[in-house]
Amino acid sequence: MFTGKPENFDDARLVARIRPAYEKAVASFPGYGASQWETLDGSKKDVHAALLGGRDDVATQILRDPASNELFLGFDLVGKERTARLRQDEGSATWEQNMIGAAIYRLSGAAGATRIENPEGVDHYPPPLLSSQQHMDELAKVLPFPVNFPNPYENEFGIEINGQVAQLRSVYAMYQAYKTVTVAGITGCKSVMEIGAGLGRSAYYSYMAGITNYSIIDIPLTCAAQAYFLGRVLGEEKVCLFGEEPKAGAVRILPPAAIGEAECDMTVNADSFTEMDRGVAEGYIDHALAKSKVLYSNNHEVNSFTVNEIIRSRRPDTMTMRNISPIRTGYIEEIAFIR
């Protein structure tokens, strides 16, 4: 199922704010180091040119319709090539819908909305077989934010939940926000800084759960996409961009050079640290160890270094809870209690 054309929205003021913030972020950006992001963002030269010095109407169209370009490549699942493949290849579409259904099932069990199966006791009160919609109905009773899927873009692909399109990254974001809000509540963290925040979907759900002192640190092109998405789904007054005066109750979207401006009782990172240059990841983790009470990480370990290695090399006495991620196969979830 694809989203249709969204309702008309006057995004002129939002885009007019994004472009100068992007220009400032690019000017401050130290580079990607040895990571995949130089290649990924290097393939988006048309997007970069439009945002940096192109025509307003071209920049607006890129931000408004990411399925017509590759702005989201590497951090979300809407894009020109992907949309074409899902429309043309029924097998790809079915596979992705199955992935979404499986993620909803795992989210439901992890959040305590429904029971999980026990393969060692199949004859003892097996949980009922529920549809994805039924799982979401149960999740709505326990999650600390509205179970909705804001779709400001055309051609976002997923499965239908409550008349909206549930995309895979949105389900992952719900779990991340659920865990962020829970850990923040237990540890008394009032501010959250997310490093490498994808499109900002977790920031949206966390904000809706009451964490309004929320900052994002990311590379310039991704910041531009986050600014547009969060400006649309939270309201443009609820985002504060690089170079703007900070204000209470607005999500701050900042480039790496401005990390010192972000409040960070809790630092969050998902699917990001181990895909960075190691020196860059070490710098971020050092910042968390120096400034935060808690570091929450959900990352894979198939590249040259792991989050656990860096934490142990810096602070071997840090108390860390480590477990296999219940939402993403092949990922490790770690919560480091720093102070």
Say which amino acid occupies 93: A
Say which amino acid occupies 56: D
> In terms of pLDDT, which residue wins out, 331 or 34?
331
Confidence at residue 70, expressed as pLDDT on a 0 to 100 scale: 97
3-state SS class at 215: strand
Percent of the chain with pLDDT over 70: 100
Task: In whole angstroms, give the CA distance from residue 64 to residue 23.
Answer: 19
Confidence at residue 122, expressed as pLDDT on a 0 to 100 scale: 66
Tens digit of each residue's pLDDT (9 = 90 or more) over 71-87: 999 999 999 999 999 99
Rg value, the chain, Cα? 20
CA-CA-CA-CA torsion sign (228, 231, 236, 237)? negative
Percent of the chain with pLDDT over 90: 91
Q: Say how many C-beta atoms besides its own lie within 10 A of residue 120's C-beta.
A: 6
Tokens of 110: 């992890």
Average pLDDT over residues 185-207: 98
pLDDT band at 124 (very low <50, low <70, confident <90, very high): confident
Question: How buried is 109 (Cβ within 10 angstroms: 0-12 exposed, 13-18 middle, 19+ buried)?
Answer: middle
β-strands 251-254, 239-241 pairing: parallel
Query: pTM for this structure?
Result: 0.96
End-to-end CA distance of the chain: 46
